[in-house]
Amino acid sequence: MATSSAAPADERRFVLAPNIAPNWPQTKRIYAGLCAVCLTVAGACAAVGLWPVVPFAGLELAALGAALYVSARRSLDREVIRVAGNEVHVERGRGRVERAWHFERAWTEVLLQPPRRRWDPPLLLLRSRGRVLRVGEWLDDEELRSLARELAGCIGPMAQCGRGDGPARPTAAVAPAAAAAANPTQPGR
């Protein structure tokens, strides 16, 4: 899930988060309801002499609680891409910023690589000066394409030079000696 906002006049901000339905308070309520039902059934079974049901019910609830906790913690993951001035800032974390990267806006390239295998997702990369950073790991294919278009619209006009889809790149002047060496049929040799 990605959201975009234009905070100040020259700033674009993209907040990416995994699309996990329940948050922590909802998860706690769901777990409490499941515990009540399961323990009621286990208690009724124990009352009629089927006491081995109780430890299995406890194990089942412990495993379910651990799985719900891990899932709910992942709902706090965030990735924020901020394009402001001449910089691109990428921050990741769970509840707070844990890692951050900075790129020069003009020299950063947005790449959407197709999947290597049919079942793999495409990769959205930010590349600048030899550094490559994958962004949007939680997004589905359509959201990645949309984010790539949005980012390409505000990042990296200089990085697109020479790729064929960007503005024309000025050709470098070739020294006469190098040109003659490259073309042996030139008169005067």
Q: How many CB atoms lie within 10 A of CB 4?
A: 14
| The 3-state secondary structure of the chain, one letter per residue | CEEEECCCCCEEEEEECCCCCCCHHHHHHHHHHHHHHHHHHHHHHHHCCCCCHHHHHHHHHHHHHHHHHHHHHHCCEEEEEEEECCEEEEEEEECCCCEEEEEECCCCEEEEECCCCCCCCCEEEEEECCEEEEECCCCCHHHHHHHHHHHHHHCCCCCCCCCCCCCCCCCCCCCHHHHHHHCCCCCCC
What's the pLDDT tens digit per position in 29-49?
999 999 999 999 999 999 999
pLDDT at site 21: 63
Regions of the chain where pLDDT drops below 70: 1-9, 21, 157-189
Closest CA to 27 of 77, 71, 93, 76: 71
- State how far the Cα of 146 lies from the Cα of 142, in Å rounded to an integer: 6
Q: Is the CATH number 2.30.29 carried by domain 11-16+77-154?
A: yes
pLDDT reported for residue 175 = 36
Per domain, the residue ranges of the chain are: 11-16+77-154, 24-75
